[in-house]
């Protein structure tokens, strides 16, 4: 698979302009031979809304006009994309990522862990089961921004056979140090490719640092962006993500990353009594 993380600088509330930018990046990715492009969280709407009513004006159903336009672009170019947007779910606002391919909308993921930052002060967390999606280019799992702080999300997707974790995010400068290690940890502990697409620029008094990354199943960051808009392309050998019964690097020993698990000892993960919240 040839994949790209797309680092953009969305304009708050300019859905039409941001959509046009994303469609142009889809064409650029296709011209570069990409099979998959991952865009940032809220790439179509921007993020730093200060009230629910305003945010809802820039949300739309999924499927809806924007996902239809993106599906047309994917059909025209033959690529797949994962893109963040605000979803109008009845009278509820969701922070959602859509997986779209040449044949249309494949699936969506609603952010399940939300912190009170920007528009997430007004969104309702998703409660659907995590799902790794089968596609002609590989098995793709999705999480959004703050979800990366919860290792259970990546593990569940990996146990479902995900080759790639697509991670749209709007990570501000305060999270810069976390991005140094957490992408590598999630990739290495699950033997998956971890593709983080962050936004860049300033919005609502918040600075977003960019540094979108592609990390391989050994935790090696082998492609990354700087602080400005960028299209970062890399070739992914998906067999590395499927070699979970042996050490995928060189060495005289072998491991069984999933078979060596001890789930009978993990029951405390299901309970949080006594934990300060």
Q: In terms of Cα–Cα distance, which of 73, 145, 157 is closest to 114?
A: 145
Beta-carbon contacts of residue 264 (< 8 Å; ≥ 6 apart)? none
Percentages (nearest 5) of helix, strand, coil residues in the chain: 30, 30, 40
Confirm if 104 and 127 have CB atoms less than 8 A apart: no
What pLDDT sits at residue 185? 98
What pLDDT sits at residue 249? 57
State phi, psi for 217 to the nearest 5 degrees: -65, -10
Give domain limits for the chain.
2-270
Beta-carbon contacts of residue 228 (< 8 Å; ≥ 6 apart)? 7, 200, 210
Q: Active-site residue numbers? A: 41, 111, 145
* Strand, helix or coil for residue 60: strand
Distance (Å, whole) CA 145 – CA 79: 23
What is the dihedral angle through the alpha carbons of 89, 93, 97, 99, rounded to the nearest 10 degrees? 10
The end-to-end CA distance of the chain, in Å, is 41
What pLDDT sits at residue 255? 76
Distance (Å, whole) CA 170 – CA 208: 7
Q: Give buried/exposed letters for 170-198 (b at 16+ CB in 10 A, else e).
A: bbbeebeeebeebbbebbbebbbbbbbbb
> Which class would CATH give 2-270?
alpha beta
What pLDDT sits at residue 257? 85
| DSSP H stretches of helix in the chain | 15-31, 52-57, 65-77, 151-159, 178-190, 238-242
Residues of the chain scoring pLDDT < 50: none
DSSP conformation letters of 103-125: TEEEEEEE-----SSGGGGTPPP
Q: In terms of Cα–Cα distance, which of 15, 236, 259 is closest to 159?
A: 259
What pLDDT sits at residue 269? 86
């Amino acid at each position: 698979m040839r994949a790209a993380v797309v680092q953009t600088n969305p304009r708050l509330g300019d859905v039409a302009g941001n959509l046009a930018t994303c469609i142009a990046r889809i064409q650029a990715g296709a011209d570069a031979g990409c099979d998959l492009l991952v865009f940032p969280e809220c790439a179509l709407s921007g993020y730093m809304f200060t009230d629910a009513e305003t945010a809802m004006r820039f949300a739309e159903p999924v499927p809806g006009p924007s996902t239809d336009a993106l599906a047309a672009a994917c059909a025209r170019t033959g690529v797949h994309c994962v893109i963040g947007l605000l979803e109008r779910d009845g009278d509820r606002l969701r922070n959602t990522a859509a997986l779209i391919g040449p044949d249309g909308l494949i699936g969506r993921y609603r952010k399940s862990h939300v912190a009170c930052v920007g528009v997430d002060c007004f969104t309702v967390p998703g409660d659907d089961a995590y799902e790794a999606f089968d596609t002609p280019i590989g098995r793709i799992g999705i999480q959004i921004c703050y979800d990366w702080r919860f290792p259970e999300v990546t593990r569940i997707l990996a146990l479902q056979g995900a080759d790639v974790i697509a991670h749209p995010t709007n990570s501000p400068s305060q999270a810069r140090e976390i991005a140094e290690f957490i992408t590598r940890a999630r990739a290495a502990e699950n033997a998956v490719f971890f593709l983080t697409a962050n936004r860049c620029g300033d919005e609502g008094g918040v600075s977003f640092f960019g540094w979108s990354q592609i990390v391989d199943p050994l935790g090696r960051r082998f492609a990354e962006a700087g602080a400005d808009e960028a299209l970062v392309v890399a070739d992914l050998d998906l067999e590395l993500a499927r070699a979970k019964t042996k050490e995928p690097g060189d060495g005289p020993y072998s491991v069984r990353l999933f078979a060596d698990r001890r789930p009978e000892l993990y029951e405390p993960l299901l309970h949080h009594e006594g934990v300060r919240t």
